[in-house]
Amino acid sequence: MNKHDGSTLDSLFEQLDELEEVNARAAKKILVIETERQMKKLGLTTTALAKRMGTSRNQIHRILDKEDAGITLKVLFRLAAALELPLQVGFVSPGQRGRQPRRAAKGRQPRQTELRA
């Protein structure tokens, strides 16, 4: 009988002490995909994005590196502003996983950066 029968991937990664790294890399990949989509929508190159953020192209390449999960909140807020997107940062209760974030009320423009807890 398989000792992992019925267990989840999360529990397996937790047993291997790798869950935090796996979650961080998955979140970073999503961030990179969303960033690249918005850059394309706005017609931004890495040079133009770097200029908007007041940083170097090397920093933008680190932001766009799916394997580098290290990114600070400060950089995330600058990235969100440069991409003209709101940033939502917060914790999700176990019962709320998978729920869609609240939408802005009709006629109300979302704030440039929003923190939700």
Select the more confidently predicted residue: 109 or 33: 33
Nearest-angstrom CA–CA distance, 33 and 100: 18
Domains and CATH numbers, the chain: 14-115 (1.10.260.40)
Residue 114 one-letter amino acid:
E
Is residue 97 very low, low, confident or very high in pLDDT (cuts 50, 70, 90)? low
Distance of alpha carbon 30 from the chain centroid: 6
pTM of the model: 0.69
Task: Give the highest mean pLDDT range of 9-18, 20-29, 93-102.
Answer: 20-29
Cβ atoms within 10 Å, residue 20 = 11
Beta strand spans in 1-117 (E): 88-89, 114-115
- Is residue 47's pLDDT more than 80? yes
Q: Is the pLDDT of residue 13 over 90?
A: no
| C-alpha dist (Å) from residue 54 to 3, 11, 30, 101 | 52, 41, 23, 30
**pLDDT exceeds cutoff 60 at 60:** yes
